[in-house]
A and B are shown apart, each in its own frame.
Chain A
C-alpha cells in the first residue's frame, strides 16, 4: 500500500496491525523518537484545520522527523491557480510523505496518481477522512476492548459528516455491529451508504430522530457537529445546528460502559459538563489521533 486515501484501502488485518503499532508507541515512546530522523512530512492544507494538521505535525516530530507545508490555500501556489497535480510533483522533490487536506472531494486521489511519495488523505471536502477513522477505531479498541459486537449510535450531521461515512464503512467489516442513526431528516445518511454499504453487508441499522430514546442501547455514541462550511445555504445551517445537544441529563440513561466519541471541534453539541464524565473520551480520542498517525507514517514509509 503506497497511499491512504480511503479507509477501505486498509484491510482489517492492516488496521489491526496499525492499532497494535499505535499501542506499542503509547507503551514505549522512547523506541520511536528517532525512527523518522532526516525524513520530512509535507502538510498540504488547502483548507484550514487546526487539530488534524497539528496532530500530523506532532506525530512527525515525535518520530524525530521534520515538517514542511502550508496551512491554507491562500499561502500556497494554489492561490496562483496551480493544479493539485503540479503542486504534489513539486512537493515530492522536498518531502518523503504528504498529508493533504483539500476542500474538493477526490483531490488527494489526484495527488496520489501524480506523485511517487505516499499521500495521506487528511480530509477531502465532505468525502473521506481516513485518519480520523483510524483514530476512532484505536479509541474504540482502547476504551471498549473490541471492534466487534457493538451498538454504535451516530448522532448529528450524518449527511455531510465524512467521519461518520468512513466509520460506517470501516465498522461494517466487523461481526455483529449494529448502528442507530440519530439525525434530523434533512441530515440523514446518504442513500448510497444505506444501499451499498449497510444493506449490501446485511448490517442491522435503525434511523431515528430521538437521541433520548436510543441512548440506553448504545456501546458507543459518536457525536458530530453540524458543519457550517458544508451548507450552501446559511438559513438551513442556522435551523439545524442546535438539533442535538448531549447533556448530563441525557447521559444519565446511558450504560456506564458506553463511550462518547466526537471528532472535534465541538461547538455546542456536547455540553461542557459532560467533559468530566468518565464516559466522555473525545480528548483521549484526540490524543490517540497523534499515535495512530505516527503508526501510519511509519507504515507508509516502510519503517519498522
Chain B
C-alpha cells in the first residue's frame, strides 16, 4: 500500500492500533478540506502494530486531548517535505471538555454551560477525576 509523502503538514505517529478513528473524531479531522490518511495496523518494531494519521496541512493539534487518549503518540511536523519538529504527548494535568462527567449527581449534569474539567489524580494508573464531583473519568 502506498501513501504519498506530505509536503507541509503533520504526521501523528505511534497511535495504539485501533485508536486512530477516535483521534480522527476528537480532532474533528472530518472538517478538513485537505488530504487525510488513516493508516491502520502498520507493523511496528516497538509496538507490534500501530496506527498513523497523515494530514496534508499545517494544523495546531490539541496535545492535551491527544495525551489523554494515548500518551505514547508522537507528532511530527513536516515543512517542505522535511521533518522539522517531533513532539511527544504527555498525560495532561487537566483536560477540558474532552470527556463528559457521567455522574447524575454532578452539577455538570444540570448546568449545561459548565466546562467538563478533569484532573489527573493518579498518573501511574492514568486516573482522571471530575474537578466538581471527583467521579472517575470513563475511558
The residues of A with any CB-CB pair to B shorter than 8 Å are 83-85, 102-107, 109-110, 124-127, 192, 196
Contact = CB atoms under 8 A, between A and B. Distances in A.
B106 A104 contact: yes
Main secondary structure, interface of A, reads: mixed
7 contacts: A85-B111, A104-B109, A105-B134, A106-B133, A125-B133, A126-B105, A196-B122
Contact of B107 (A84, A192, A196): A84
Interface residues of B, number: 20
Interface of B: 103, 105-111, 113-114, 121-122, 127, 130-136
A127 B111 contact: no
B96 to A, nearest CB: 13
Contacts of B110: 104
Contact of A106 (B107, B113, B127, B136): B107
B121 A196 contact: yes
B111 to A, nearest CB: 5
B130 A192 contact: no
Contact of A109 (B109, B113, B122, B132): B132
Contact of B134 (A83, A107, A127): A127
B132 A105 contact: yes
Contacts of B127: 196
B131 A125 contact: no
Contacts of B134: 105, 127, 192
B121 A106 contact: no
Contacts of A105: 103, 105-107, 132-135
Contacts of A126: 105
Given A105-B106, A105-B107, A110 B133 contact: no
Please indicate which of the listed interface residues B108, B111, B136 has the most CB atoms of chain A within 10 Å of its own CB.
B111
A194 B24 CA distance: 37
Contacts of A103: 105
| 9 closest cross-chain pairs (CB), A and B | A106-B132, A105-B133, A104-B107, A106-B107, A107-B107, A106-B133, A125-B105, A105-B105, A109-B132
A192 B136 contact: yes
Contacts of A84: 107, 111
A102 B107 contact: yes
Nearest to B110: A104
Nearest to B133: A105
Contacts of B113: 83, 85
Task: Output the residue of B103, B107, B109, B131 with the most chain A CB within 10 A.
Answer: B107
B129 to A, nearest CB: 8
Contacts of B135: 105
A105 B110 CA distance: 11
Contacts of B131: 106, 109
B130 A106 contact: yes
Contacts of B107: 84, 102, 104-107, 109-110, 124
Contacts of B132: 105-107, 109-110
Nearest to B109: A104
A127 to B, nearest CB: 6
A77 to B, nearest CB: 14
A110 B114 CA distance: 8
A106 B122 contact: no
A96 B80 CA distance: 60
A99 B108 CA distance: 20
